[in-house]
């Protein structure tokens, strides 16, 4: 593993176990948002014996230390992805292939702060994700091929 790759691996936190390392490896390799069940299935395909409950618990503990990004879907399902940066950021997410790009919040940050102040709230956090269809998927549509 190169030094460059090391910087993109989520930190393991206090409890560095074989199962935790396997979950982190899968997150890094998938490089898209994935459900706990998808991660669990991938672990099985790689012959790692990690129970689904352990996957959920590991993902939650990684989320608690901000080592993974969490995307809360309207369905109530949470999707997870390794963080490319430790700085606060948002995501552009392709709804067809899952390709994700980390983006800065820019005006969203200012808007959240202004609205909080205007309504006498103390801002403790916010989420803002942008969904759409990436260029590769759009190109696949126009050529009639599946992506």
Binding residues for Zn(2+): 94, 97, 134, 137
Q: Which tokens belong to 87?
A: 């700085």
Binding-site residues sit at: 88, 94, 97, 109, 126, 134, 137
Q: How many residues does the chain have?
A: 147
Q: Which residues, in sequence order, are CB contacts of 131 under 8 Å at separation 6+?
A: 92, 93, 94, 95
Q: How many CB atoms lie within 10 A of CB 53?
A: 10
* 10 vs 66: CA distance, rounded Å: 9
The structure tokens 């459900």 sit at: 35
What CATH number belongs to 87-147? Answer: 3.30.1490.190
Annotated binding-site residues for Fe cation read: 88, 109, 126
CATH class belonging to 1-85: mainly alpha
Domain parsing of the chain, residue ranges:
1-85, 87-147
d(CA 66, CA 51): 22
Radius of gyration, alpha carbons of the chain: 17
Write out the chain's pLDDT in tens, 147 residues: 333 344 444 455 556 788 999 999 999 998 789 999 999 999 999 999 999 999 999 999 998 888 888 988 878 889 998 877 677 778 888 888 888 888 887 888 888 899 999 999 998 887 788 889 999 999 988 776 554
């Amino acid at each position: 593993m190169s030094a460059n790759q090391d910087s993109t691996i989520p930190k393991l936190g206090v409890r560095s176990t074989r199962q935790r390392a396997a979950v982190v490896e899968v997150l890094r390799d998938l490089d898209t948002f994935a459900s706990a069940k998808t991660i669990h299935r991938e672990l099985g395909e790689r012959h790692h014996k990690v129970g689904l409950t352990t996957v959920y618990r590991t993902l939650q503990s990684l989320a608690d230390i901000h080592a993974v990004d969490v995307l809360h879907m309207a369905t109530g399902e949470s999707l997870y992805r390794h963080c490319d940066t430790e700085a606060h950021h948002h995501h552009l997410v392709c709804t067809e292939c899952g390709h994700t790009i980390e983006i800065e919040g820019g005006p969203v940050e200012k808007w959240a702060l202004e609205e909080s102040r205007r309504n006498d709230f103390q801002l403790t956090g916010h989420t803002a994700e942008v969904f759409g269809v990436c260029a590769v998927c759009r190109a696949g549509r126009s050529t009639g091929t599946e992506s």
